[in-house]
Amino acid sequence: MGEAKQVFEPKIVGFTCNWCTYAGADLAGTSRKKYPPNIRIIRLMCSGRLDPMFVLKALLGGADGVFIGGCHPGECHYIKGNFYARRRIAALRTILKQFGLENRVRSEWISASEGDKFARTMKDMAEEIKKLGPIPMREKIV
């Protein structure tokens, strides 16, 4: 009683493509853009490497949100990896939508030169997940 309520700091897991969003995040850092420190980045060689199971595992394993960053459509380093990724993410989000979880998974196309867009996206996403609160049943589910 009387104690200040602890502020909820969401955990966000980010899967980013080596050739674009990861470099974009690097650029955001080297150009000293400010963004909230909630994201933990996992680098993939392509957004097409993302098995939607990674997202489910993250959400059920303690993440409050998942961010997926890939190259702009048509600019994939491997020609079409992000096109396949787009279909997979769309399907996964359709499933999550049934349980009201779709807003915890967000994907964005961010190129290596868009450090500013990366910082902005992180800020948006951290705010949104803060509003949503922790993932339900965090203590319980595995």
Residue 141, interface with other proteins (CB under 8 A)? yes
Task: List the structure tokens of 16.
Answer: 């980013």
Task: List the structure tokens of 59.
Answer: 């959400």
**In terms of CB distance, is 37 or 100 closer to other proteins?**
100
Residue 21, interface with other proteins (CB under 8 A)? no
Residue 93, interface with other proteins (CB under 8 A)? yes
Q: Phi then psi for 44, rounded to 5 degrees?
A: -115, 160
Nearest to 70 by CA among 119, 126, 104, 118: 118
Task: List the structure tokens of 68.
Answer: 């997926």
Query: Exposed, middle or buried, 141 (CB in 10 Å: 0-12/13-18/19+)?
Result: exposed
Number of residues that bind other proteins (CB under 8 A): 35
Residue 12, interface with other proteins (CB under 8 A)? no
Contact 69, 122 (CB under 8 A): no
Residue 63, interface with other proteins (CB under 8 A)? no
Residues facing 109 on adjacent strands? 70
**In terms of CB distance, is 12 or 92 closer to other proteins?**
92
Alpha helices in the chain (DSSP H): 21-30, 52-60, 81-97, 115-132
**In terms of CB distance, is 32 or 40 closer to other proteins?**
40
Minimal distance in Å, beta carbon 45 to other proteins? 19
**In terms of CB distance, is 31 or 51 closer to other proteins?**
51
Residues 96-135 that bind other proteins (CB under 8 A): 97-101, 106-108, 135
Contact positions vs other proteins (CB under 8 A): 52-53, 56-57, 60, 73-74, 80, 83-84, 86-95, 97-101, 106-108, 135-137, 139-142
